[in-house]
Amino acid sequence: MAHFVIQGVYLFKTKTIYIYFPLILNNMLDIKFIRDNKDLVAAGAKKKHIEINLDELVSVDDERKKIMQSIETKRANQKVMGDNMAKMQSGQDKAAKLEELKAIKEEIQKEEETLKGIISKWQTLMIQVPNIPDISVPEGESDAQNVEVKNWGEPPVFDFKPKSHIELMEGLSMLDLERGTKIAGFRGYVLRGAGARLSFALWQYGWQFFLKKGFEPFIMPSLVKRELLLGSGYLPQGEEDLYKTQDGEYLAGTAEVPAMGFWSGEVLKKESLPMKHLAFSPCFRREAGSHGKDTKGVMRVHEFFKLEQVILCEASHEQSVRLHEEINRNTEELMESIGIPYRTVINCSGDLGLGQVKKYDIELWVPSEGKYREISSASYFHDFQTRRLNIRYRDGEEKLRFAHSLNCTALPTPRALIALIENNQRADGSIKIPEVLAPLFGEKEIRA
């Protein structure tokens, strides 16, 4: 598929001023590709169950180009008249030309103001155009239609009724939901004692596991600017799930956002690609669309912590596909090393975000519920995010190209504690610590 390079900003020069329009573009498809392949783009949006009006976008783009051409023509005429006037003697003819030049200048200023509004509308339409999903993505409307592609490990068979993570952790003074709610409100929680120690052991183990795979560690801020959420594709669709400060910044729900922002507006060295980052940060989500879901325990909370794999690579579909399989497999291997049964699903078209070309979810077995629950998502975007964030590199011919981006949850806590604890529970309410975690935790079991 062809790549069309567009500048990260639109800089329109007049004789005396510059009009600056920041462009937040939509994906690997620029406006030329959208116009030339409108049916393909529309089919991709339909497959993702996203409503867009491409006819309106094309119409606004026509209007944008028309008024830009008008301004350019008037500016050219203004220059010619100015050059001719410089050669004229003073008199009535020169005075008339000055009035004519003044009128042209006023017309240009009016059209520039009109152009600002058109560009704003054009940008709004552009950022709503979704990326085209891969042909291998199954059809479907929601996560109920996701397709299992792998199943690992045997769910434990207990000779007693398994307890939930809430019963187990409260019984062992690992978790305090009542005081968590007193402190933070609905969905608040406090990890204490062995619960806190086990979280730290998991983080340390995750660091060690991924550093051995060549990832560079980062501790990222959670507080991010709006443009980074737009650039990474979490806005405009996900506004209701984000916390916003009184100063206009947002609290990110994943370290992917600041990790992508780290390289925004920069030209990378080709020899540095692929760049593999392991980003850690606190994360925040309002869970606005989850009313009535997982209201107890630590499955769905407002504040949590994540290790995130984030990769930037060359603009190659083949390399994106290979790395996508690799990062998903990394998290699978992590879960296997801890001994937690899981399954991997490929997300259907209706369960993809605006920018995702393809996504896998890894789901861990939760004995008390008798089902698998999502723990990790692995996605690739082609240059959806990097085009918006203007992250480029020079290829072998020294041409600037937008890099490709990928990300995958490496380890989320406290959610990971649920399956870990429930799958390792004993009849007396104690918890066996997996062998790989015991040296970091300091003990082989948790008892009251």
The model's pLDDT over 100-111, given as tens digits with 9 standing for 90+, comes to 888 888 899 999
134: in domain? no
Is 197 among the catalytic positions? no
Q: Which of 320, 392, 415, 422 is catalytic?
A: 415
Question: Which residue in 75, 300, 329, 343 is the catalytic one?
Answer: 300
**Are 157 and 255 found together in one domain?**
yes
The reply to whether 43 falls in a domain is no
State mean pLDDT over 287-306. Answer: 89
Q: Are residues 344 and 392 in the same domain?
A: yes
228 located within any domain:
yes
114/159 same-domain check: no
Least Cα distance to 221 among 263, 256, 191 occurs for: 256
CATH code, 251: 3.30.930.10
Q: For residues 339 and 420, what is the distance between their CA atoms, to the nearest angstrom?
A: 8
367, 290: one domain: yes
CB 110 within 8 A of CB 70: no
Same domain, yes or no: 71 and 171: no
Report the alpha-carbon distance of residue 254 to residue 222 in Å, rounded: 8
Catalytic member of 232, 349, 376, 377: 377
Looking at 187, 285, 387, 401, which residue is catalytic? 285
78 confidence band (pLDDT: 50, 70, 90)? confident
Domain that holds residue 336: 143-446
Residue 415 a catalytic site member: yes
Q: Quick check: is 396 in a domain?
A: yes
Q: Tell whether the model's pLDDT for residue 247 goes beyond 60.
A: yes
Of 192, 369, 374, 430, which residue is the catalytic one? 374
Which comes out higher in pLDDT, residue 99 or 363? 363
Domain identity same for 207 and 102: no
Structurally, the chain folds into a number of domains equal to 2
Same domain for 341 and 435: yes
300 is catalytic: yes
* Average pLDDT across the chain, whole number: 90
Number of H helices, E strands in the chain: 13, 20
Q: Are residues 121 and 148 in the same domain?
A: no
CA 260, 266, 272, 273 dihedral sign is positive
